[in-house]
Amino acid sequence: MCGRFYPVVLGGLALISPNPLNLKGFYMQTSIVSFHGRRHNHATLVEIVEGPRTRDLPLHLAVRNHSPCGFEWGYLGSGPAQLALAMCIELVGPVRAERVYQHVKERLIARLIGDDWSLSGDDVRLAIETAEAAA
């Protein structure tokens, strides 16, 4: 899947973050956080909405590089793994994220259908906590 997506900037949304280890988002209050993804012109774009503020979700490639070409969803693969990892890093940091992101990929990301989707921070946090409880 990686070959059909290109690192571009569309409408102010960067497909690949210039600072892949941007770790400022750790421990966000999940009740005011949501993640929104969409496909646009053969690119996938994912944003984090934190109250009134919206920003691009960084790939966090410096933590783990599954998919340098970008995020994906709707199946079990490298693009969905990168998306699950990035979302988990934003909510709980890289150490916890690396332990649970494959579970989040299977429970949430692989089940997303269509070109547009939204997940609440609470949904992602619940998947993280479920993975940790099962470990």
Report the C-alpha gap between 120 and 67 in whole angstroms: 23
Q: How would you class 4 by CB atoms within 10 Å of its CB: exposed for 0-12, middle for 13-18, buried for 19 or more?
A: exposed
Report the C-alpha gap between 13 and 15 in whole angstroms: 6
Report the C-alpha gap between 130 and 135 in whole angstroms: 9
Give me 51's structure tokens.
Answer: 């109250």
Helix (H) or strand (E) holding 133: helix 121-134
Q: Is 23 a residue whose pLDDT tops 50?
A: no
For the entire predicted model, the pTM comes to 0.79
Structural domain range at position 57 = 2-134
Q: Give me the percent of the chain exceeding a pLDDT of 90.
A: 69
Number of domains within the chain: 1
Model pLDDT for residues 37-62, shown as the tens digit of each residue: 999 888 999 999 998 899 999 999 99
Query: Does residue 26 contact residue 58 with C-beta atoms inside 8 Å?
Result: no
Model pLDDT for residues 77-112, shown as the tens digit of each residue: 999 999 999 999 999 999 999 999 999 999 999 999
